[in-house]
Amino acid sequence: MPLQLRTAVQNALQTTYTFVSFKPNVQIQSHIFTLKVPDGYQVIEEETGQLVYSLKEASEICGFVPVTPHDSPHRIYAFAGKIVFDYGKTTIVETPAEKPFKIAGQGAWGQIDGQPVEIIQDRLRWQQQDLEIIIEGPQSVKLARQLAPNLILPDKNLDLAKKAQVKVEVNMEIAQAEQKQVDAGHAPWQLDPLFVSHVFVNLQVTPEGIVGEPKIPYSTFKIEANTGVEALVSVGEGPIRKIYLKKLVREDESGIWSVIGYDSSEDDENKPA
Protein backbone atom coordinates (compact mmCIF):
# COMPACT_ATOMS: atom_id res chain seq x y z
CA MET A 1 0.00 0.00 0.00
CA PRO A 2 1.46 3.42 -0.91
CA LEU A 3 2.43 5.91 1.77
CA GLN A 4 -0.35 8.39 2.48
CA LEU A 5 -0.67 11.58 4.50
CA ARG A 6 -4.16 12.52 5.68
CA THR A 7 -4.98 15.97 7.06
CA ALA A 8 -7.40 16.82 9.84
CA VAL A 9 -11.00 17.68 8.90
CA GLN A 10 -11.48 21.38 8.22
CA ASN A 11 -14.80 22.81 7.04
CA ALA A 12 -16.02 19.25 6.48
CA LEU A 13 -13.14 18.55 4.06
CA GLN A 14 -10.27 16.12 4.53
CA THR A 15 -7.31 15.87 2.15
CA THR A 16 -5.29 12.71 1.50
CA TYR A 17 -1.87 12.93 -0.16
CA THR A 18 -0.60 9.72 -1.80
CA PHE A 19 3.15 9.57 -2.44
CA VAL A 20 4.11 7.98 -5.76
CA SER A 21 7.68 7.75 -4.51
CA PHE A 22 9.18 8.52 -1.12
CA LYS A 23 12.79 8.89 -0.04
CA PRO A 24 13.30 9.63 3.66
CA ASN A 25 16.05 12.03 4.60
CA VAL A 26 16.82 10.11 7.79
CA GLN A 27 17.43 6.46 8.53
CA ILE A 28 15.09 4.85 11.06
CA GLN A 29 16.51 2.03 13.13
CA SER A 30 14.59 -1.20 12.61
CA HIS A 31 14.43 -1.98 16.34
CA ILE A 32 12.05 0.97 16.76
CA PHE A 33 9.36 -1.09 15.02
CA THR A 34 10.02 -4.23 17.06
CA LEU A 35 7.37 -4.98 19.65
CA LYS A 36 8.81 -5.81 23.04
CA VAL A 37 6.16 -6.99 25.46
CA PRO A 38 6.91 -5.76 29.02
CA ASP A 39 7.28 -8.31 31.77
CA GLY A 40 3.95 -9.36 33.22
CA TYR A 41 2.00 -8.49 30.06
CA GLN A 42 0.84 -10.59 27.14
CA VAL A 43 -0.50 -9.85 23.66
CA ILE A 44 -4.16 -10.73 23.14
CA GLU A 45 -5.21 -10.68 19.50
CA GLU A 46 -8.72 -9.46 18.76
CA GLU A 47 -10.75 -9.80 15.57
CA THR A 48 -8.38 -12.51 14.34
CA GLY A 49 -9.76 -13.80 11.06
CA GLN A 50 -8.45 -16.14 8.43
CA LEU A 51 -8.78 -16.67 4.73
CA VAL A 52 -10.95 -19.71 3.97
CA TYR A 53 -11.83 -21.54 0.79
CA SER A 54 -15.27 -22.98 1.51
CA LEU A 55 -18.52 -21.89 3.15
CA LYS A 56 -18.43 -24.98 5.37
CA GLU A 57 -15.06 -23.95 6.76
CA ALA A 58 -16.27 -20.36 7.18
CA SER A 59 -19.41 -21.51 9.04
CA GLU A 60 -17.36 -23.61 11.45
CA ILE A 61 -15.24 -20.58 12.36
CA CYS A 62 -17.93 -17.87 12.51
CA GLY A 63 -20.50 -20.07 14.23
CA PHE A 64 -23.46 -19.52 11.88
CA VAL A 65 -24.62 -20.28 8.34
CA PRO A 66 -24.23 -17.11 6.21
CA VAL A 67 -26.60 -15.83 3.55
CA THR A 68 -24.70 -16.11 0.28
CA PRO A 69 -25.09 -14.21 -3.02
CA HIS A 70 -25.11 -15.91 -6.43
CA ASP A 71 -21.86 -14.27 -7.54
CA SER A 72 -18.80 -15.92 -6.02
CA PRO A 73 -16.53 -13.59 -4.01
CA HIS A 74 -12.82 -13.15 -4.69
CA ARG A 75 -12.04 -14.13 -1.11
CA ILE A 76 -13.83 -15.20 2.08
CA TYR A 77 -12.57 -14.19 5.52
CA ALA A 78 -13.97 -15.90 8.61
CA PHE A 79 -13.86 -14.52 12.16
CA ALA A 80 -15.47 -15.63 15.39
CA GLY A 81 -19.01 -14.26 14.98
CA LYS A 82 -18.35 -12.59 11.62
CA ILE A 83 -17.83 -13.45 7.96
CA VAL A 84 -16.60 -11.17 5.18
CA PHE A 85 -17.15 -11.73 1.45
CA ASP A 86 -14.57 -9.76 -0.53
CA TYR A 87 -15.57 -8.62 -4.04
CA GLY A 88 -12.68 -6.25 -4.55
CA LYS A 89 -14.15 -2.77 -4.20
CA THR A 90 -17.32 -4.16 -2.60
CA THR A 91 -17.56 -6.16 0.63
CA ILE A 92 -20.33 -8.04 2.42
CA VAL A 93 -20.08 -8.35 6.21
CA GLU A 94 -22.46 -10.65 8.09
CA THR A 95 -22.78 -10.91 11.88
CA PRO A 96 -25.45 -12.21 14.27
CA ALA A 97 -28.30 -9.68 14.47
CA GLU A 98 -28.74 -7.49 17.52
CA LYS A 99 -32.27 -6.28 18.32
CA PRO A 100 -33.73 -3.77 17.99
CA PHE A 101 -32.44 -2.69 14.59
CA LYS A 102 -31.75 1.05 14.57
CA ILE A 103 -31.19 3.16 11.47
CA ALA A 104 -28.82 6.12 11.59
CA GLY A 105 -30.51 9.52 11.36
CA GLN A 106 -28.75 10.45 8.12
CA GLY A 107 -29.63 7.17 6.45
CA ALA A 108 -32.33 6.78 3.83
CA TRP A 109 -34.89 3.99 4.29
CA GLY A 110 -35.41 1.08 1.94
CA GLN A 111 -37.41 -2.09 2.58
CA ILE A 112 -37.02 -5.84 2.36
CA ASP A 113 -40.26 -7.73 2.99
CA GLY A 114 -41.53 -4.86 5.13
CA GLN A 115 -38.34 -4.62 7.19
CA PRO A 116 -36.21 -1.43 7.08
CA VAL A 117 -32.95 -1.10 5.17
CA GLU A 118 -30.46 1.65 6.02
CA ILE A 119 -28.95 3.29 2.93
CA ILE A 120 -26.02 5.71 3.19
CA GLN A 121 -24.39 6.41 -0.18
CA ASP A 122 -23.31 2.98 -1.52
CA ARG A 123 -23.66 1.27 1.86
CA LEU A 124 -26.71 -0.88 2.69
CA ARG A 125 -27.43 -2.39 6.11
CA TRP A 126 -30.34 -4.58 7.17
CA GLN A 127 -31.27 -7.70 9.14
CA GLN A 128 -32.27 -10.99 7.53
CA GLN A 129 -32.56 -14.55 8.88
CA ASP A 130 -31.25 -13.45 12.30
CA LEU A 131 -28.18 -11.89 10.69
CA GLU A 132 -27.13 -8.27 10.27
CA ILE A 133 -25.80 -7.68 6.76
CA ILE A 134 -23.70 -4.73 5.60
CA ILE A 135 -22.81 -4.32 1.93
CA GLU A 136 -20.58 -1.44 0.94
CA GLY A 137 -19.18 -0.53 -2.46
CA PRO A 138 -20.19 0.10 -6.08
CA GLN A 139 -21.88 -3.33 -6.40
CA SER A 140 -23.88 -2.98 -3.17
CA VAL A 141 -27.34 -2.85 -4.77
CA LYS A 142 -26.61 -5.66 -7.22
CA LEU A 143 -25.34 -7.98 -4.48
CA ALA A 144 -28.11 -6.95 -2.08
CA ARG A 145 -30.73 -8.04 -4.62
CA GLN A 146 -29.02 -11.44 -4.83
CA LEU A 147 -29.42 -11.83 -1.06
CA ALA A 148 -32.87 -10.22 -0.92
CA PRO A 149 -34.72 -10.10 -4.28
CA ASN A 150 -37.56 -8.07 -2.70
CA LEU A 151 -35.30 -5.10 -1.96
CA ILE A 152 -37.18 -1.81 -2.44
CA LEU A 153 -35.11 1.36 -2.72
CA PRO A 154 -36.57 4.70 -1.56
CA ASP A 155 -38.47 6.75 -4.12
CA LYS A 156 -37.02 10.26 -4.11
CA ASN A 157 -40.04 11.62 -6.02
CA LEU A 158 -42.73 10.90 -3.42
CA ASP A 159 -43.33 14.62 -2.71
CA LEU A 160 -44.28 13.99 0.91
CA ALA A 161 -44.62 17.72 1.60
CA LYS A 162 -47.81 18.08 -0.45
CA LYS A 163 -49.62 16.01 2.20
CA ALA A 164 -48.80 18.46 5.01
CA GLN A 165 -51.79 20.26 6.56
CA VAL A 166 -49.68 23.29 7.45
CA LYS A 167 -46.91 24.49 5.15
CA VAL A 168 -43.80 26.04 6.72
CA GLU A 169 -41.97 28.69 4.73
CA VAL A 170 -38.19 28.30 4.87
CA ASN A 171 -35.86 31.29 4.61
CA MET A 172 -33.28 29.97 2.14
CA GLU A 173 -30.66 32.54 3.15
CA ILE A 174 -30.82 31.26 6.72
CA ALA A 175 -30.84 27.63 5.52
CA GLN A 176 -27.75 28.21 3.38
CA ALA A 177 -25.99 29.91 6.30
CA GLU A 178 -26.87 26.98 8.58
CA GLN A 179 -25.55 24.56 5.94
CA LYS A 180 -22.21 26.40 5.96
CA GLN A 181 -22.13 26.17 9.75
CA VAL A 182 -22.68 22.42 9.60
CA ASP A 183 -20.02 22.08 6.89
CA ALA A 184 -17.63 23.80 9.29
CA GLY A 185 -18.37 21.20 11.95
CA HIS A 186 -21.00 23.06 13.98
CA ALA A 187 -24.57 21.96 14.87
CA PRO A 188 -24.31 18.44 13.35
CA TRP A 189 -27.76 17.66 14.77
CA GLN A 190 -29.24 19.35 11.69
CA LEU A 191 -28.17 16.28 9.70
CA ASP A 192 -30.63 14.16 11.71
CA PRO A 193 -34.33 14.54 10.77
CA LEU A 194 -35.39 13.20 14.19
CA PHE A 195 -33.42 15.83 16.08
CA VAL A 196 -34.53 18.63 13.74
CA SER A 197 -38.16 17.58 14.34
CA HIS A 198 -37.55 17.41 18.08
CA VAL A 199 -36.26 20.99 18.17
CA PHE A 200 -39.03 22.30 15.89
CA VAL A 201 -41.89 20.81 17.90
CA ASN A 202 -40.49 21.92 21.25
CA LEU A 203 -40.06 25.46 19.94
CA GLN A 204 -43.76 25.40 19.04
CA VAL A 205 -44.53 24.40 22.63
CA THR A 206 -42.10 26.91 24.19
CA PRO A 207 -41.53 29.68 21.61
CA GLU A 208 -39.38 31.61 24.08
CA GLY A 209 -36.75 28.88 23.83
CA ILE A 210 -35.89 25.46 25.21
CA VAL A 211 -34.60 25.61 28.78
CA GLY A 212 -33.67 22.39 30.56
CA GLU A 213 -35.46 19.24 29.48
CA PRO A 214 -37.72 19.74 26.42
CA LYS A 215 -41.47 19.38 27.05
CA ILE A 216 -41.87 16.75 24.32
CA PRO A 217 -39.28 13.99 24.89
CA TYR A 218 -37.06 12.75 22.08
CA SER A 219 -38.30 9.18 22.59
CA THR A 220 -41.76 10.12 21.25
CA PHE A 221 -40.37 10.94 17.78
CA LYS A 222 -40.22 8.21 15.14
CA ILE A 223 -39.16 8.25 11.49
CA GLU A 224 -41.97 6.94 9.27
CA ALA A 225 -40.23 7.49 5.93
CA ASN A 226 -36.88 8.77 4.69
CA THR A 227 -36.03 8.88 0.99
CA GLY A 228 -32.69 10.55 1.59
CA VAL A 229 -34.16 13.85 0.33
CA GLU A 230 -37.52 13.96 2.14
CA ALA A 231 -38.52 12.56 5.51
CA LEU A 232 -41.70 12.07 7.53
CA VAL A 233 -41.50 11.98 11.33
CA SER A 234 -44.39 11.09 13.64
CA VAL A 235 -44.75 12.48 17.17
CA GLY A 236 -46.38 10.46 19.93
CA GLU A 237 -47.59 13.41 22.02
CA GLY A 238 -48.00 17.17 21.96
CA PRO A 239 -49.61 19.64 19.54
CA ILE A 240 -48.05 18.20 16.36
CA ARG A 241 -48.42 14.62 15.16
CA LYS A 242 -46.43 14.64 11.90
CA ILE A 243 -43.42 16.60 10.65
CA TYR A 244 -42.45 16.87 6.98
CA LEU A 245 -38.79 17.61 6.23
CA LYS A 246 -36.66 18.11 3.15
CA LYS A 247 -33.05 18.77 2.20
CA LEU A 248 -33.35 22.14 0.48
CA VAL A 249 -29.72 23.25 0.20
CA ARG A 250 -27.96 20.00 -0.65
CA GLU A 251 -29.49 16.59 -1.28
CA ASP A 252 -26.57 14.32 -0.39
CA GLU A 253 -25.65 12.93 3.05
CA SER A 254 -24.02 16.24 4.06
CA GLY A 255 -27.23 18.25 3.49
CA ILE A 256 -29.17 19.66 6.44
CA TRP A 257 -32.86 18.96 7.02
CA SER A 258 -35.47 21.74 7.06
CA VAL A 259 -39.05 21.48 8.31
CA ILE A 260 -41.38 22.33 5.41
CA GLY A 261 -44.72 21.32 6.93
CA TYR A 262 -46.59 19.56 9.71
CA ASP A 263 -49.93 18.05 10.72
CA SER A 264 -51.58 19.18 13.95
CA SER A 265 -52.84 16.70 16.52
CA GLU A 266 -56.53 15.83 16.38
CA ASP A 267 -57.11 17.48 19.76
CA ASP A 268 -57.96 21.09 18.80
CA GLU A 269 -57.08 22.32 22.25
CA ASN A 270 -53.48 21.26 21.70
CA LYS A 271 -53.06 22.83 18.27
CA PRO A 272 -50.15 25.30 18.04
CA ALA A 273 -51.03 28.95 17.60
Q: How far apart are CA 166 and CA 177, in angstroms?
A: 25
> Where along the chain do its domains lie?
50-152, 160-270
Task: Tell me how far apart the alpha carbons of residues 158 and 140 are, in angstroms, rounded to a whole number.
Answer: 23
pLDDT at 73 over 80: yes
Q: Under 8 Å CB-to-CB from 122, ≥6 apart: which residues?
A: 136, 137, 138, 140, 141
pLDDT of residue 267: 46
Q: Which helix (DSSP H) or strand (DSSP E) does residue 144 occupy? A: helix 140-147
The arithmetic mean of pLDDT across residues 68-96, rounded, is 95
DSSP secondary structure letters along 46-83? -S--EEESSHHHHHHHHSSPPP--SSPPSEEEEETTEE
Cα 238 to Cα 178, 221, 233, 242, 256: the distances in Å are 27, 11, 13, 10, 25
> Does residue 139 have a pLDDT over 70?
yes
Q: pTM of the full predicted structure?
A: 0.69
The pair phi, psi for residue 70, each rounded to 5°, is -70, -40
Radius of gyration of the chain (CA): 24
Q: CA 26, 30, 36, 42: dihedral to nearest 10 degrees?
A: 110
Query: Does the structure show a pLDDT above 80 at 105?
Result: no
| pLDDT tens digits, 16-69 | 888 888 887 778 788 888 888 888 887 776 667 899 999 999 999 999 999 999
